Structure 1
């Protein structure tokens, strides 16, 4: 009876009419946990709302905002948000174009460098075309060849004249004689005597034949000299013949056409030509 009395007093302090309603209102533990979670979520949202309200109050202070102003600000906010999204999309498109332009710029720089290289090559080809037009290149090669021949001829002339004379070229491609026995004075070849002119001509001929021997496809086996020995004294004649004999040992047959008896005596092999007589022999 005491328990029943306590029960009735407790029931009177609730919204339930009887025990049956209490039993019907009892919830399972899972349901209670779900309600607890919903309550906690609610209070978190309340805290967040209070925090945002405090931030807003700090911004606007004591100023009041009407509903119309609020709606207008919401509209402006939505417009700005839409504009921001549009600008973000445009920014993405612009970034794509910038990336594409950078790739094209790299390619452009490569093509510019290639064009510069090809331009320099074209300029060289134009210069070569200018040089090869007409006889310019041939004259250039002839000058180079003439310098080589002159150097070799000068060495030969120094041997034949016992280092008295040397051969040089002037600025116009003509020959000059350097008189080393007279302090290296340079003078024209027209000042040479007959014998000296022959030695100079012989030196040039030997140098030219040596160049042909070096550059020819087939070896040069014969070299003939016609006259000129009559202008030499005995000493120079001996020097010239000795030089020719040295040439003969270098796989080169040297033929001499001369009426000088000293030459005939020095040559081991000779063909003597006698003029024909009216009766037939000769």
Structure 2
């Protein structure tokens, strides 16, 4: 029994010892793994740094090759420029290189110097040509004193004659100045006379106006022109700037055709749809004048028929125009039997004839 107990105690001690050793071994293994991971990370960092250094080295090698080529090319150019410089010094006579360098270091306006040289060359050429011309003239190379004295005497006589002529010119200039002043005064008088003539024509026109119905016709023509200008704002939109209305001195309406060079046409040459459009625009313009005189916020506009002669496109344009009047604070009433137009109207009163009960009225509201 005692040996059995000792055996059991030994086994427990061995178990406890091996458990402690296993824990230490596991800790050692974990530490080794961590060291391996740290070593791997460090290895990756070193490899990345090595790759960057290799890339930088490759770039530096390529740059070195490029710089070497540029250096060789620059040396070739330098040799060529040096050779050209020596040749140009000999060609232009500047063999003293220090003096030439000092000349380059001075601040010289090249354009100004070139211009002065060019002007000097031109003057030199002109002078040379003049000398050649003088030498080619008769008597220049062979000068005679007697002939010179005769020419001097003739010159003095001509000078006296010229002075006399100059005095006459001065007298003529004085007369010209006096005549010019009189002409200026005449222009002023003519301008005053023209103003008086214009005033006389105005007075005659006023006199004619106040005789009979002339003044009424004058005032009506002004209002008709304003009415025509107001109507043209819509009429030109409806006809796409192809036509416009005009009125002459006799208060007669005309049509300007811009597709035909802006020539005037009679109103009767318009189509049915165009005639309706012109009438509609004139009526709307007249309604605007009445609205302005009455200073009303709203105006009611009534249209009775007049749509039968219009095609579908003209009906669409006219109806869009009538719908746009809503934004102008207007009320438009339409009487029509045209079905296409009836379909476009939202608020209406429909009148039907019943043979037995007479006219029956139905509403859309």
Aligned-pair distance for 1:130? 7.2
Structure 2 counterpart of 1:266, from 334, 344, 353: 344
| Structure 1 runs (4+) greater than 4 angstroms displaced | 124-134, 217-220
Equivalent position of 1:233 in the other structure: 311
Q: Distance in 1 between matches of 2:212 and 2:359?
A: 56
* 3-state secondary structure, aligned to 2:352: coil
Per-residue CA deviations over 1:33-79 (Å, capped at 9, x if unaligned) read xxxxxxxxxxxxxxxxxxxxxxxxxxxxxxxxxxxxxxxxxxxxxxx
Q: Give the aligned CA root-mean-square deviation in angstroms.
A: 2.5
TM-score by length of 2: 0.40
* 1:169 to 2:259 alignment: no
Q: Distance in 2 between matches of 1:228 and 1:149?
A: 21
Q: Distance in 1 between matches of 2:264 and 2:234?
A: 18
Q: Distance in 2 between matches of 1:161 and 1:150?
A: 15
Question: Which structure 2 segments of 5+ residues have no match?
Answer: 1-201, 361-365
* 1:197 to 2:275 alignment: yes
Rg (Cα) greater in structure: 1
Equivalent position of 1:248 in the other structure: 326
Q: Distance in 1 between matches of 2:266 and 2:359?
A: 48
Aligned-pair distance for 1:244? 0.7
Q: Distance in 2 between matches of 1:281 and 1:136?
A: 51
Q: Distance in 2 between matches of 1:230 and 1:126?
A: 50
Which structure shows the higher helix fraction?
Answer: 2
Per-residue CA deviations over 1:182-206 (Å, capped at 9, x if unaligned) read 2222110111111111111111111
Q: Distance in 1 between matches of 2:224 and 2:259?
A: 25
Per-residue CA deviations over 1:229-268 (Å, capped at 9, x if unaligned) read 1211111111111111111221110111111112111112
Per-residue CA deviations over 1:103-145 (Å, capped at 9, x if unaligned) read xxxxxxxxxxxxxxxxxxxxx9999787456433322221110
Q: How many residues in Structure 1 have an aligned counterpart in Structure 2?
A: 159
Question: Which structure 1 segments of 5+ residues have no match?
Answer: 1-123
* 3-state secondary structure, aligned to 1:168: strand
Equivalent position of 1:17 in the other structure: none
* 1:157 to 2:231 alignment: no
Structure 1 counterpart of 2:219, from 134, 141, 152: 141
Aligned-pair distance for 1:207? 1.0
Per-residue CA deviations over 1:10-33 (Å, capped at 9, x if unaligned) read xxxxxxxxxxxxxxxxxxxxxxxx
Aligned-pair distance for 1:172? 1.5
Q: How does 1:45-194 map to 2 (within 5 A)?
A: 131-132=209-210, 134-194=212-272
Q: Which has the bigger relative contact order, CA under 8 A and spacing at least 6?
A: 1
- Structure 1 pair 162/126, CA: closer, same or farther in 2 (3 Å)? closer
* 3-state secondary structure, aligned to 1:274: strand
TM-score by length of 1: 0.51
* 3-state secondary structure, aligned to 1:259: coil
